[in-house]
Structure formats: structure tokens, C-alpha cells
Amino acid sequence: MSHTTAAWTAVDAWQDRLIALSHSLHAEPETAFQEHASAAKLATLLEQAGFAVEREACELPTALIATYGAGDLTVGICAEYDALPEIGHACGHNMICAAAAGAAIGLREVADELGIRIKLIGTPAEEEGGGKVLMLDRGAFDDVTVAMMAHPAPGFDVADTAMTTQTVSRFHATFHGRASHAAAAPTVGINAADAAVVAQVAIGQLRQQTDGRFRIAGIVVDGGQRTNIIPERASLEYEVRTLTAEQLPGLKERVQNCFHGAALATGTAVEFRPTQPDYLDLRQDPYLTAAYGDALSKLGRESQPMPAGVTGGSTDMGNISQVMPSIHPGMGINGATAMPHTRDFTDATASPAADEALIAGAKALAGAAIALAGDAEQRAAVQKLQAGRGTLSSNK
């Protein structure tokens, strides 16, 4: 029996439990950094499969690290399990979690023979909060040679290096003015809400001189409490997105200059606070991407090319892909037409087609890792990259 066949047979043996995990997470969605039950369910399953599991990893209550093996090639498999507020698993992280567990279980069957070490990293707060960035900074990826995960996609599988994401920086901006009675003493006040309006107008004008592929979006969080009180405080949340990490600082500076200008024009003061770590653009490793696609073909599923010009969305997996060979292919939910982050996609991620997709994704991830482990030249190449990159955590 080949290594691939052995791994896939192991996934088949765990299929019902993997699907049950996906459905259980779907039925009990938990948002960023609140995924206590979700993390516990994943940890329990992996312990049952023979993994050593560290709960509350990296001082994050809903993170975990599960390991098996002692080889010189460490395959990192990222499991996400946070949901979206109000609409649950509309991004299919229940599927991501189950597919990651399945890939790890499949690889465990052949890890000793292939001389590989499996490290499943349960990463909370992808939707907001940057769990992977926090875990990267705290050392969780220091010993990982390559990293992988698979993400649900509507309609068809995607294993394509052109499948990328945008960088994003999110921040909270607060204007500070002076309160006063809006009728009796308006001239005494300094209107923070006016500053928020001026900033938004300036940003609107900025868009004409901004690359059309970039994105600027924001909301007003606090614009005052009563009409008869000059607002002493106004706050907004904004995000800026670019195609690459190199482009992000320039656009962010231009947007924040709109806030500084608004403060100057209105006599207010402005302060900024990041709401999460910056997410960087996703870089798919060509070898692992091709190996994932080959595995899909053996499973009777064909990868489709990424539609031209589609780069929307952002993920903290991009940060991982900037420092080590990584993949983040799409697990196609056959027949699904709804887009992620919609209620219809929430329904799709617990459908029979989603169950089929996550099992195929688990097998294809395992197949890609097995291909790498058995390719002496490519294996040596990624190990050389790992040796040359140094420590990734902040504790250098």
C-alpha cells in the first residue's frame, strides 16, 4: 500500500467523526477568541487519534497545538474555528477545522515511515484578531517547515498560485473635542462629530487618486449622544486594503492624513489604535499547490483556475505564507452559488456537498505533504529555507 493510500484510508476510517466535528461546530458557532467549546472539541478528537495536545497554547485560551512524530520535516496544518457574529459559520471555518484534523490524522498513519513531524496549530480569531499572527509572534511556527490549510469555496475546487488575498490594516480613530450646550453656548464647544464628517469627505475625495484595486472602508462607531450636546468625542473604525504588503504603509498614511487634516480643520485632536495585527497578502507555494491539485485529480475532483482579477478578502494565513512555503487552496462546495459571509453560505457549509469537500480537502492536504516528504530535492530545499530564516517569534 502506498503512503498516500494508507493516509487516505485513515481519513476514511475517521470520516464520520470528522463530519460530526464540522456539524457540531456549525451548530454551536463561536466568534473570535470565544471559541472555547470549538477548541475543546478539536482537542478531544486529536487526543483520541493519538496526538499530544497542548491546550491554551501561546497564552491564548482558545488556541491549541497538537503534535505527532519526530522527523526532520515539520508539516504545520492550520485549523480555524471562529465564526462570524450573527450569521455563524458563513466562512466555513467548521469545514477548515475538520479538514485540518483529517489531514493530520491521515499523515499520522505514515509519519514515522516518511520521517515527518505533524504539528496541527489551532488558530483562533481569523475573522478578526489575527490569531495566527499572535501565535507566529509567540513562537508557534518557529519549528514549522511548511504550512497548509484549505478554505471552502463556492462551486469548485481551486489549487492555483493566483489565488491570493489582499493585505489589510484596521484601526480605530477617535477625535477629541469639547462638549457644550448646542443651543445655549455652541461657540464654546469643539465638535468632534464635525471632524468625523470632514475626515470621511476627505477620504471620499482621496479615492479618485487611489489605485482602483485598493479598498478603503469605514463606519462611525460614536458620533455623539444627544442633539443638544456638542459631541466631545467621535470615533470611527476604518480599514485599508492593498494588493501587497509593500503598498500598505503608503495607503494607510494617506488615509490617516485625512484624519489629521480633519483634526486641524476643526480644532480637535485625533488618536489612532490598531484593532488587530495587519494581515499580509497570501503567497501560495507552487510545489505544494501543484501537489494539492494532483491529489485532487486522483480523488476524481478537478481544480479550476482562479477567476481573473479576484483578490478580495484578507487572511492572517498571508502572514504565515510570507515567512515559509504555504498553501491555502479552495475546497469547492459543489452546487453552492452563495458567496462567503452570507447566510446562504452558512447553510452551504453544513451540506452533504460540504461534507464531501472537507474530506477531499483533508486527503488532498495529506497528499501534498506526502509528495513533499517523498521528493528528496524539494524536501531539502524547504529544509534549507527553514534553516536560513532564523527565529520567527518576537523572542529572538
Q: Are 367 and 291 a contacting pair, CB within 8 Å?
A: yes
Domain boundary among 213, 243, 274: 274
Closest CA to 176 of 254, 276, 275, 259: 259
Is 219 a residue whose pLDDT tops 50? yes
Domain boundary among 254, 274, 294: 274
Range of the structural domain that residue 235 is part of: 167-274
pLDDT at 22: 99
CA gap 200, 109 in Å, rounded:
56
CA distances from 38 to 17, 62, 81, 133 (A): 14, 8, 7, 20
Closest CA to 217 of 281, 168, 261, 164: 168
> Number of structural domains, the chain?
2
Residue 118 in domain: yes
One domain for residues 215 and 354: no
Is 3 a residue whose pLDDT tops 90? yes
Name the pLDDT band for 309 (thresholds 50, 70, 90): low
Average pLDDT, the chain: 96
Residue 396 in domain: no
What CATH code is carried by the domain that includes residue 201? 3.30.70.360
End-to-end CA distance of the chain: 44
pTM of the model: 0.94
Is 396 a residue whose pLDDT tops 90? no
Residue 316 has which C-alpha cell? 492572517
One domain for residues 327 and 219: no
